[in-house]
Structure 1
Amino acid sequence: MLVDIGTEEGNSWLGHIYNLQGFVQFRLGSTEDALSFFNKAAEAFRQMRRADDGPWLVVNYGNLAWLHHHLGDQAESEAYLSKVDALMKKYPSPSQDELHAETYAEKAWTLMKFSNDRELLADYFQRAIKMQPEMVEWNTSYFLWLVNTSEHRDDGLAANILEKMRVAQEQDPENFCLAACYLEQRGKKREDVKDEARELAVKVLRNPVSSYNGMRAILRVYSNYISIDEAIALAEEALELHPDERYLKRCAALCLKRKIRYFRDRHTNQSMIDRAVSLHEEVISLYPHFSLVKNIDLANIHAKSNNGMAKADQMYQDLLKMDLKPAEKQLLYNQYEKYLNSD
């Protein structure tokens, strides 16, 4: 999923992304790629902060020290540890009991990707933002996380949080992901956001493709507050502009699945189902770690197709034979029961 985040210039979290990718590559056994990503992280921080050093490099230098230690290069490891010590002396934290704001922000961002510890994540973000309120991207990321954790609440965020989100959006007006999420929350409060959503969609289409460019959020706004058909049209338009982007294929597949499974009407024809099947097959190959969920989706789509029940039955039988983890089995059994009881 880190691949989908995007590494275009101007991404405020680019250094953090590279740091995280470096760690992942090391865990996968690719030390050369890990070193490359850690070095990219250092350069990204320098470009974004327009400075050769700063507290934002503490984690990066620590990563490089750790990597060189594992590579057996103790001299290089010690050199980076010395750089860490120098930075911590030059840019001390506000108190001995606290880390530097940059470190809290990095920890919070990493927890967003790898942990369900909501209290710790919120604490890290709030500490970082309190120490350096001028870092609008931290505030933005905090609210994006809040939205994601409340995505399935029909009533949206509490009024006081929504007001803070409005302020964050005004402070970071070029973040279209936050703008789309803010529209979504207002839609949940029964505000009419159609016109604003259409205006924002034009901007999102011009934005570099990434999982944080606002596309998925604006598609949710379209689906819920305009129409699922316009959401599909928007997703297909994005794919026409960027036909090789796997993230956009995933977005389009989600829209089509939703239309076919939950909005079945006279506008749902076999060609649309065929398109959904084709996209889901691509997504399964592009996101192998999501293959169970996507294969379930594909089976359910086949079930809506003309003469597709046999294919759906076979897919479910094949999935039931797989060696799955308990949580995966529970998911599969739940979906299979719904499938058997569907019309």
Structure 2
Amino acid sequence: MHEKEDQEHHRTMIEENCNQLRCHFTWELVVEDSAVPDLENRIWEEIEFLDTKYNVGIYNLLAYVKHLQGQDEDALQSLNEAEDLIHREHADLSDIGSLVTWGNYAWLYYHMGRLEEAQTYLDKVEDTCQKFASRFCYSMECPEMDCAEGWALLKCGRQNYVRARACFEKALQVEPENPEFSTGYAITLYRLDSDPNNVISLNPLRQAVRLNPADTYIKVLLALKLQDVNQEDEGEMYIEEALGSTTSLMYILRYAAKFYRRKGCVERALELLQRALQETPSSAFLHHQIGLCYRSQVFQIKNQTSRGPRGQNRENINSLVQLAIHKFQRTLALKPTYELAYVDLAEMHAEIGQYREAEDNFQRALNMNNCAEDKQQEIHLRYGNFQQLHQNSEDKAITHYLKGLKIKEISYARGKLLKALKQLAEKHLHHNIQIVESLSLLGLVHKLQGDMNKALECYEKALRHTTFLNPDF
């Protein structure tokens, strides 16, 4: 009986000590179960195709993902890879570079019931913390640990980006010229940039390129940001420079294709994406980007035919829509949590009159859990457009524009929501339809745009019109 109690006490002590570690098991990484397969795919792609000095962290993350899937032996193998990499390529990091890996070992052995081995790694962490005079037995406060946590959060998706930013900021306060900290910070800000007109990531990306002149991945992100802020020529210079290199080519092809699609060079974009797809046929990102290229070609044909496409043009559109649908479906088979891919798919169904399929996919997007606020705004915007243009339901369109605007996030989609609502309100006023409601909506638009004088003017007109209609009011 006493022996059993001793074992339980030993297990409890190890768990308490493990909880003090700084590693993937304690960083509260937000990863939905449905997103785990896609995360693992992206990790393997990064290991194979991204030329980086920071692969120790990616093997640690792979170990954690393997554990989430119940594959603890495979997880151990990944930690072995991380440790080998430290000894081969990062001997200069001393024991600090191993702290995260040792912490993950301790947790993994604890979960496997191998408590003596868990204790061995706890002892390694404790020895290192004492060696560097840490205030804590099992964790250290240092920029390298903040950076490792930042990378882990960044790799696990949008719900973790704000915390990732805080980690990199904390690390940069100690070492503002550190190339790795700078790269992580710049990428995080780029991912957080929900408004293309925003420039919060521009200077950090420039700084990261300056500190990492050989890093082609960070160069293409800078190129895309420059394109966002109407500095496309400078951006293209970085794109061509990156394409002339052989490092991280798979990632360069992806982002260069995105750059050229947005520039209107769709054939060039498709050529680059097809090259990349030969190497990584199960990339949801690539299938989605190819689908967006076909969609762009649909819009190009429609814009060239002022009276609406007919004959051969109509056939070409139908063919391109089918290709886009196929690619978006493939995207969602690979990544069921890709919210905007449902919207892209819905819009292509609507394009050929398949309104029921369109509605189903819009509803899937509208009902997604843990969807980022800027994405929610875009979904309401595009569903509102669908109701207005394809279902002749301006009331439902207004409802969804308003739902999008209730979300306070300042994003590109929010600007579009305000514009769409304003156009509908002005159209109704022009045709004397729902005058009080339309004036109120117009007042709301002006208020949200910060023009209180115009807002008050609209509200007063609405009030006068109400009094005119109801003299007893």
| TM-score normalised per structure 2 | 0.59
Tell me whether 170-179 or 86-95 shows the greater mean CA deviation. Answer: 86-95
How far did 1:62 drift?
0.7
How far did 1:23 drift?
1.8
User: Per the alignment, in what secondary structure is the counterpart of residue 309 of structure 1?
Assistant: coil
**Match in the other structure for 1:283:** 331
Task: Summarize the Cα distance change of 1:72–1:300 in structure 2 as closer, same or farther, 3 Å threshold.
Answer: same
Query: Which letter does structure 2 place at the counterpart of 1:146?
Result: L
Is the CA contact 1:18–1:40 (under 8 Å) kept in the aligned structure 2?
yes
Residue number among 214, 236, 254 corresponding to 2:274 in the alignment: 236
How far did 1:208 drift?
4.5
Q: Equivalents in 1 of 2:261, 2:365: separation in Å?
A: 34
**Match in the other structure for 2:189:** 146
Pair 1:37 & 2:78 matched: yes
Residue correspondence of structure 1 range 1-343 to structure 2 within 5 A? 1-2=38-39, 3-5=41-43, 6-8=46-48, 10-50=51-91, 53-92=94-133, 99-112=141-154, 113=156, 116=159, 120-132=163-175, 135-157=178-200, 162=203, 164-191=204-231, 192-193=233-234, 195-197=236-238, 199-200=240-241, 202-203=243-244, 207-209=248-250, 213-225=251-263, 227-239=265-277, 241-242=278-279, 244-246=281-283, 247-260=285-298, 264-266=302-304, 269-290=317-338, 293-304=340-351, 308-310=352-354, 312-317=355-360, 320=363, 324=367, 335-342=382-389
**Match in the other structure for 2:31:** none
Tell me whether 148-157 or 255-264 shows the greater mean CA deviation. Answer: 255-264
Is the CA contact 1:46–1:53 (under 8 Å) kept in the aligned structure 2?
no
Tell me whether 312-321 or 108-117 shows the greater mean CA deviation. Answer: 312-321
Q: Equivalents in 2 of 1:102, 1:16: separation in Å?
A: 11
How far did 1:148 drift?
1.6
CA displacement, residues 109-137 of structure 1 (integer Å, 9 cap, x when unaligned): 12223564666433321332344456412
Q: Equivalents in 2 of 1:338, 1:256: separation in Å?
A: 20
CA displacement, residues 275-303 of structure 1 (integer Å, 9 cap, x when unaligned): 2222222222222333x543432232133
Is the CA contact 2:257–2:273 (under 8 Å) kept in the aligned structure 1?
yes
Is the CA contact 1:94–1:100 (under 8 Å) kept in the aligned structure 2?
no
Is the CA contact 1:180–1:214 (under 8 Å) kept in the aligned structure 2?
yes
How far did 1:76 drift?
0.2
Is the CA contact 2:196–2:225 (under 8 Å) kept in the aligned structure 1?
no
How far did 1:71 drift?
1.3
How far did 1:68 drift?
0.7
Task: Summarize the Cα distance change of 1:103–1:152 in structure 2 as closer, same or farther, 3 Å threshold.
Answer: same
Query: Which letter does structure 1 place at the counterpart of 2:210?
Result: E
Task: Summarize the Cα distance change of 1:320–1:114 in structure 2 as closer, same or farther, 3 Å threshold.
Answer: closer
Q: Equivalents in 2 of 1:252, 1:245: separation in Å?
A: 13
Is the CA contact 1:10–1:48 (under 8 Å) kept in the aligned structure 2?
no
User: Per the alignment, in what secondary structure is the counterpart of residue 389 of structure 2?
Assistant: coil
CA displacement, residues 14-46 of structure 1 (integer Å, 9 cap, x when unaligned): 221221222222233222222222222222333
Is the CA contact 2:346–2:362 (under 8 Å) kept in the aligned structure 1?
no
Query: Which letter does structure 1 place at the counterpart of 2:274?
Result: E
Q: Equivalents in 1 of 2:259, 2:225: separation in Å?
A: 9
Q: Equivalents in 2 of 1:189, 1:202: separation in Å?
A: 22
Matched residue count: 331
Larger radius of gyration: 2
Q: CA RMSD in A?
A: 3.7
Unaligned runs of 5+ in 2: 1-37, 305-312, 391-473
Task: Summarize the Cα distance change of 1:10–1:179 in structure 2 as closer, same or farther, 3 Å threshold.
Answer: closer
Q: Equivalents in 2 of 1:205, 1:271: separation in Å?
A: 35
User: Per the alignment, in what secondary structure is the counterpart of residue 244 of structure 1?
Assistant: coil
Query: Which letter does structure 1 place at the counterpart of 2:349?
Result: H
Q: Equivalents in 2 of 1:44, 1:53: separation in Å?
A: 13
Task: Summarize the Cα distance change of 1:58–1:180 in structure 2 as closer, same or farther, 3 Å threshold.
Answer: same
How far did 1:150 drift?
1.6
How far did 1:182 drift?
1.5
Task: Summarize the Cα distance change of 1:44–1:249 in structure 2 as closer, same or farther, 3 Å threshold.
Answer: farther
Q: Equivalents in 1 of 2:289, 2:387: separation in Å?
A: 27
Tell me whether 28-37 or 252-261 shows the greater mean CA deviation. Answer: 252-261
How far did 1:188 drift?
3.7
Give the share of equivalent positions with the same residue, in percent.
20
Q: Equivalents in 2 of 1:98, 1:234: separation in Å?
A: 45
Task: Summarize the Cα distance change of 1:157–1:52 in structure 2 as closer, same or farther, 3 Å threshold.
Answer: closer
Is the CA contact 1:104–1:128 (under 8 Å) kept in the aligned structure 2?
yes
| TM-score normalised per structure 1 | 0.79
CA displacement, residues 242-286 of structure 1 (integer Å, 9 cap, x when unaligned): 362424323322333445468844586444333222222222222
Q: Equivalents in 1 of 2:245, 2:301: separation in Å?
A: 25
Q: Equivalents in 1 of 2:56, 2:174: separation in Å?
A: 20
Unaligned runs of 5+ in 1: none
Is the CA contact 2:186–2:205 (under 8 Å) kept in the aligned structure 1?
yes
